[in-house]
Amino acid sequence: MQKTKRSSIVLAVLGALGLLVGGPTASFASYHPQFHHSGSMCVSTGGSRGYYNQGIISNLSYSSSMNLFCPMVRENDNTQVGTVSVHLRDANHGEGIQCSFYDVEAYGRSWAWSGWKTSLGGGASNIGTLSWDINSVRDQYAGYNHIRCTLPPRTSDGTSYIASYRAGE
Partner 1 sequence: MNARHWIGVVALCGLSVAGAELLRADPVPPTTPSVAAPARTVELRTDDAQTDALWARLRRLEGELRDTEGELHAAEVPSSAGEAQMSDEPLPSPEELAERRAIYRSQLEDILDAETQDPTWGPQTESTIDESLRTFGNEHVTVHGLECRATLCRLELTIAEEGDPMGTMDGLMGRPGFTLPGMANMETDPDGTERVFVFLARDAEGGLPQPPA
- By the criterion CB under 8 A, which residues form the site for partner 1? 1, 4-23, 25-27, 29, 76-77, 79, 98, 100, 105-107, 109-116, 133, 135-136, 138-142, 148, 150
What minimum distance in Å lies between the beta carbon of 55 and partner 1?
25
Q: 10 Cβ partners below 8 Å, 6+ apart?
A: none
Query: For residues 99 and 163, which CB has a smaller minimum distance to partner 1 in the complex?
Result: 99
What minimum distance in Å lies between the beta carbon of 25 and partner 1?
5
Query: For residues 27 and 156, which CB has a smaller minimum distance to partner 1 in the complex?
Result: 27
What minimum distance in Å lies between the beta carbon of 53 and partner 1?
30
In eight-state DSSP terms, residue 63 is S
Task: Please count the CA atoms within 13 angstroms of the CA of 169 that sit on its side-chain side.
Answer: 8
What minimum distance in Å lies between the beta carbon of 105 and partner 1?
6
Contact between 161 and 56 (Cβ < 8 Å) = yes
Query: For residues 27 and 53, which CB has a smaller minimum distance to partner 1 in the complex?
Result: 27
Query: For residues 120 and 142, which CB has a smaller minimum distance to partner 1 in the complex?
Result: 142
Type of residue numbered 155: T
Contact between 103 and 88 (Cβ < 8 Å) = no
Dist CA 8 CA 2 (whole Å): 10
